[in-house]
């Protein structure tokens, strides 16, 4: 793909008392049942106090419990529709990736800051390449410690929800085995198998263990398992993840949680279609990795409206925006993590912020018609350009 020739990024903003005036657009999320909003009123107040113009689409915060009046009181402007927000915003801050109806609104040089998960969708990737926008993905903003600070809060929510949702769909009315995960006196509790010992896996293990279930957590890193052995309850059994152990333990699991993450890349397939035959009919799989393609071969993205489907007798839960089901908690947790990075982008200007912050630079997946994250390029056989090359 030919690169799009872009003007110098830092030149599109006006300076103001030593900082940068940026128009920050907060559109309403239109992905199915996505009730989160990218910025709470208190965050809008911080950005307005820094001299920036914050433009919030009418009703953007209602799903999370925040009224237009609260945003206005915080110093934000309310725009009547999405077109106005996208047209005015130099920096667009969202929760989820722009969906197809929004693609036509994206402008060259505009910066979009959100969860993208490009490696799960070539169509999404190519649309943003063609737009000429600068796409900074929450999920690949990475600190020198390898921590993913903007993915962590939603991973915490999703990990805890995975057990909650799995327990629900184990009920017979939904096609599940009819098992109460916690058990009762005289009846053994259920068994939960967790694939991956990252933030999602740890939070799932804590909730499952707290319910008194038998928990098996598998991870490829012995060092990570040693660490988890010090912090997780005694009823969490920690095992190395390999083909033998995965098959052995999903065979008698009531709930399997996919919690695998390779930052920026498609998730590895750990459970194949043929493996479902060894599982108990009515067992439930919750694949939290579905937004990166999933670690279960038979998974596909679902919505909160229609969250589950059955393959070979196994209930599959594939909601790609799980935290959207608890938007008040999720929105507050997300803004706690993202606001300081939005401030960096707005106060310093996009180019300067990317140059000065290695964490933010790691988050740049696409810029000026180029793929700037190696894992995204590898996923679809696209040319890769270092992120530094599109901001110099």
The domain segmentation of the chain, as residue ranges, is 9-147+326-390, 152-325
Bridge partners of 328, per DSSP, are: none
Of 52, 117, 249, 373, which residue is the catalytic one? 117
Of 275, 291, 316, 373, which residue is the catalytic one? 291
Active site residue 312: no
pLDDT on residue 6: 39
pLDDT on residue 80: 87
End-to-end alpha-carbon separation of the chain, Å? 21
Low-confidence residues of the chain, pLDDT below 70? 1-21
Q: With b meaning 16 or more CB within 10 Å and e meaning fewer, what string describes 149-181?
A: bbbbbbbbbbbbbbbbbbbbbbeeebbbbebeb
Question: Cα–Cα distance between 282 and 169 in angstroms, integer?
Answer: 9
Q: Are 108 and 6 in contact (CB under 8 A)?
A: yes
Q: Which residues, at least 6 apart from 97, have a Cβ–Cβ distance to it below 8 Å? A: 114, 115, 116, 117, 118, 124
CATH 3.40.50.720 fits 152-325, yes or no: yes
Question: Cα–Cα distance between 216 and 265 in angstroms, integer?
Answer: 25
pLDDT on residue 342: 97
Q: Give the CA diameter of the chain.
A: 71
Q: Are 292 and 320 in contact (CB under 8 A)?
A: no
Question: Cα–Cα distance between 25 and 272 in angstroms, integer?
Answer: 42
CATH number of 9-147+326-390: 3.40.50.720
Q: Are 89 and 23 in contact (CB under 8 A)?
A: yes
pLDDT on residue 340: 97
Is 152-325 in the same CATH topology as 9-147+326-390?
A: yes
Active site residue 219: no
pLDDT on residue 262: 83
Question: Cα–Cα distance between 304 and 144 in angstroms, integer?
Answer: 35
Give the angle 33-36-40 at the CA atoms, nearest 5°.
Answer: 160
């Amino acid at each position: 793909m030919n690169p799009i020739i872009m003007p110098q990024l830092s030149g599109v903003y006006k300076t103001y008392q030593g900082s940068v005036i940026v128009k920050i657009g907060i559109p309403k999320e239109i992905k199915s049942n996505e009730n989160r909003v990218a910025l709470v009123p208190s965050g809008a107040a911080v950005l307005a106090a820094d001299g920036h113009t914050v433009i919030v689409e009418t009703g953007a915060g209602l799903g999370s419990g925040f009224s237009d009046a609260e945003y206005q009181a915080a110093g934000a402007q309310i725009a009547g529709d999405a077109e106005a927000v996208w047209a005015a915003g130099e920096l667009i801050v969202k929760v989820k990736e722009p969906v197809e109806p929004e693609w036509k609104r994206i402008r060259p040089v505009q910066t979009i800051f959100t969860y993208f998960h490009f490696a799960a969708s070539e169509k999404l990737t190519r649309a943003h390449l063609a737009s000429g926008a600068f796409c900074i993905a929450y999920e690949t903003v990475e600190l020198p410690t390898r921590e993913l600070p903007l993915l962590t809060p939603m991973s915490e929510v999703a990990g805890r929800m995975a057990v909650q949702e799995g327990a629900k769909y184990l009920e017979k009315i939904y096609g599940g085995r009819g098992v109460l995960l916690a058990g009762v006196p005289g009846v053994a509790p259920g068994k939960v198998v967790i694939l991956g010992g990252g933030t999602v896996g740890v939070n799932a293990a804590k909730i499952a263990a707290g319910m008194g279930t038998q928990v098996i957590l598998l991870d490829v890193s012995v060092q990570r398992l040693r660490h988890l052995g010090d912090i997780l309850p005694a009823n969490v059994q920690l095992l190395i993840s390999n083909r033998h152990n995965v098959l052995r333990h999903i065979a008698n699991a009531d709930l399997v949680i996919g919690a695998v993450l390779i930052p920026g890349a498609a998730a590895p397939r750990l459970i194949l279609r043929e493996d479902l035959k060894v599982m108990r009919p009515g067992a439930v799989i919750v694949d939290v990795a579905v937004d990166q393609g999933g670690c279960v071969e038979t998974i596909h993205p679902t919505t909160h409206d229609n969250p589950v489907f059955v393959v070979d007798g196994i209930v599959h839960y594939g909601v790609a925006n799980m935290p959207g089901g608890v938007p008040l908690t999720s929105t507050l947790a997300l803004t706690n993590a993202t606001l300081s990075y939005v401030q960096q982008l707005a106060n310093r200007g996009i180019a300067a912020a990317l140059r000065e912050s290695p964490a933010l630079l790691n988050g740049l997946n696409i810029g000026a018609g180029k793929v700037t994250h190696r894992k995204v390029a590898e996923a679809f056989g696209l040319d890769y350009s270092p992120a530094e090359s599109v901001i110099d």
